[in-house]
Chain A
Amino acid sequence: MRIAAKPNDYAVNLQGRQRAGLMWRALFMSATIVGVLALTALLLNIINGAFGYVALEAKVDPTTLAADGVALESQSKDQLVALLRSRLSAGAFNKLDGEMPFDRRSRTDVYDIVLERIVRYNVVRSWNLWESLVNAPGIRAEAEAAVPAAQLRFRAWLNPDFVAGKQSSEALTAGVRTAVLGSLWTILITILVAFPIGVGAAIYLEEYAGSNWLNRVIQTNINNLAGVPSIVYGILGLAIFVRALEPLTSGEVFGVVDPTTANGRTVLSAGLTLGLLVLPIIIINAQEAIRAVPRSLRNASYGLGATQWQTIWHHVLPSALPGILTGTILAISRAIGETAPLVVVGASTAISFDPSSPFSKFTTLPIQIYQWTSRPQSEFRSLAAAAILVLLIMLLTLNAAAILLRNRYTRRA
């Protein structure tokens, strides 16, 4: 393959060269196709895992719990409460009553408790969506042969109960509400901390900083920080926010310590750690947005006698706002999906109460996914798939909102 070396050389072996060109073009295109295929495989694999048949075996067969000929599903609330009273130990019953009195609970709530505590369904086999759709008779036969006592039901692991339910160690009753709320609390703190500091730093670097060595060092430093692995931020957060600043992050200083925690592994530490992590991203994006504001706008403002800060606040920032917001949304998307730094900072593995303050224990959605993925049983794998779908939907909504916001602001400007 030589580009023409001599005049009149243009057509040397043209066909061969063009054939080679076609072959390489196919190679490059196949590289792109591999990328698209990978994305498709990823999404399909997750959806595949989140739905499917399950074989449920009950510890206590619900048909034996029929009272006066009324099947369990149709019993009234009083009958169900009587059932609980007779089957549970006195201590357990009183504990449930203490958490919320039975007359205040709804019938569905009591029914759920009956299922969870007395009937105790257990997943003995599960299949993924593809198998369930394609090989339903085969699955039925397999279930009959291997676990004849079990009921076969099609379960959508991603269902409204899953999204709204709290965390539990039982696969069938587990929900992601605790984790989602933990994520939202953490992100709130992250944004409250990182947005002002990040935009402030960007304004300084673009508007005020001269080109002396200190400012060059700051700029290089920010670029380097953007490339530091996220787990290093987690280690930093562990050392500084959890350990060194424990009185602050656990709430001792404010007198609002969470009685079950009493150490620095709180939502506040997590939010601050993630804040440090996304700070370089926000700064770099905000810098680009501010840089894109035309010089003429600034000069016009100065020409009318405005001070530097007046120019920035009234003209530069509003003009750069869409870009800054886009960068912030990018940073939030990154922060929502981060797992490693929060594991190091100390996400709790077994909390079942929603976070109520910045000083409470926390778990986040990616961490929940990590914990469920690490369990060997297949039903936890399905739970992880359902939780991943929740996470992806959250991210998709966020990014769609970002694009809408950006379009709206750009049009107005």
Chain B
Amino acid sequence: MTVNNSAEPSSFPTPHLGLTRRPRRREAIIRGLLFSSAAISILTTAGIIYELGKEALLFFQMPGVTFLQTITSTRWQPHTGEFGVWGLVTATLLTSIIAMLVAGPLGLGVAIYLSEYASPRTRRILKPILELLAGVPTIVYGYFALSFMTPLLRSIFGQDIVQVYNTGSAGLVMGILILPLIASMTEDALSAVPRSLREAGYGMGGTRLEVALQVVVPAALSGLAAALILGTSRAIGETMIVAVAAGAGPNFTLNPFIGAETITGHIVRISGGDMSYDSVDYNSIFFLGLLLFVITLSLNIVSQRIVRRFREVYE
């Protein structure tokens, strides 16, 4: 790259700066390389759909497995050839609902407190603490569930009601895991509401609580909904907490005090053991993985649509 610094006013020769659009091959090559980097993401999604779909199809072609039985039966016992998926799905839903019952209200409360009430100094201390909670690896939460939450539940509700492995403590700890996610997303949504709306509310004589609950929260509702849906999606996909604390046998039950394996816990248990390729167990992993992928992807897309559709645009 040459720059002509000789600015002689009298004789100004036309410098050959080469600014014409001559074809630069190196630029094109680099652009192609960068495009292929971006395209790898497409390959990843294609790979997920292709591999999961292919093996899931193989799963359904195995002797003894029918699509109808899989989606209607509730017992998952590979050695008797029963592959009803509802037991696993109910356990997943149970833990996720418990997690959202904890993380939803608490996350909302934290977000409202941080954005409407807290002084900047408090916010500076509290936000890093929340981020710390979000950065703890999930296996640590699993250990926490097994060594703290389960004994706590057992001491509250009695040792014969609460088993050693139960979905309740896994759900509660999962709620703590998701809490920072919901809190930060909701707080972003609340902060995005312009100050003028709040000032208008105060000007009409509202107290701080009334403005927060009746003006700001409804204005940020789309962001709240998106946060809750994303939190549910995260809870459904969570593996290690349930693998450690929720139990190791598929169980169709609504009782949170006894053990029941979730979809993710089952996948981990099966792949941790001896597994030969092309066995029923191996292929069932892919079917379950596909199920998981479809559920979480749908939730994520719904969440994005809600934000795009219902987000109030102010300025």
Does A pair with B? yes
Residues of A within 8 A of B33 (CB): 200
Stretch in contact with the other chain, from B67-75, B78-86, B198-206: B198-206
CA distance A236 to B285 in the complex (A): 11
Taking a contact as CB atoms under 8 Å apart, the answer to whether B209 and A344 are in contact is no
Residues of B within 8 A of A339 (CB): 137-139, 239-240
CA distance A49 to B45 in the complex (A): 42
Judge whether B136 is part of the interface by a CB distance below 8 angstroms: yes
Taking a contact as CB atoms under 8 Å apart, the answer to whether B138 and A337 are in contact is yes
Show the binding face of B for A, using Cβ within 8 Å: 1-3, 17-19, 24, 26-27, 30-31, 33-35, 37-42, 44-45, 47-48, 51-52, 55, 105-110, 112-114, 117, 126, 129-130, 132-133, 135-144, 146-148, 176, 179-180, 183, 201, 204-211, 213-214, 230, 233-234, 236-240, 243-244, 264, 267-268, 271-272, 277, 285-286, 289, 292-293, 296-297, 300-301, 304
Interface SS, A side:
helix
CA distance A204 to B34 in the complex (A): 5
The tally of residues in A whose CB lies under 8 Å from a CB in B reads 94
Interface SS, B side:
helix
Taking a contact as CB atoms under 8 Å apart, the answer to whether A222 and B41 are in contact is yes
CA distance A209 to B141 in the complex (A): 41
CA distance A393 to B277 in the complex (A): 38
B268 interface neighbour in A36, A49, A340, Cβ under 8 Å: A340
Taking a contact as CB atoms under 8 Å apart, the answer to whether A39 and B133 are in contact is yes
Show the binding face of A for B, using Cβ within 8 Å: 1, 3-4, 9-11, 14, 17-18, 20-21, 24-25, 27-32, 34-36, 38-39, 41-42, 45-46, 49, 196-198, 200-201, 203-205, 208-209, 215, 217-218, 221-225, 227-232, 234-236, 238-240, 243, 276, 279-280, 283, 304-310, 333, 336-340, 343-344, 346, 349, 366, 369-370, 373-374, 381, 384-385, 388, 391-392, 395, 399
In the complex, which residue of chain A has the Cβ closest to the Cβ of B34? A204
Taking a contact as CB atoms under 8 Å apart, the answer to whether B19 and A235 are in contact is no
Taking a contact as CB atoms under 8 Å apart, the answer to whether A29 and B52 are in contact is no
- Min C-beta distance of A199 to chain B, whole Å: 8
Given the contacts A232-B48, A340-B264, A388-B140, A208 and B42 also touching, CB distance less than 8 Å = no
List 18 extra interface pairs beyond A25-B208, A28-B117, A228-B296, CB under 8 A: A4-B206, A9-B205, A20-B209, A21-B209, A21-B210, A32-B110, A35-B176, A38-B179, A46-B143, A197-B40, A217-B42, A218-B41, A221-B41, A229-B264, A231-B292, A238-B285, A344-B268, A366-B137
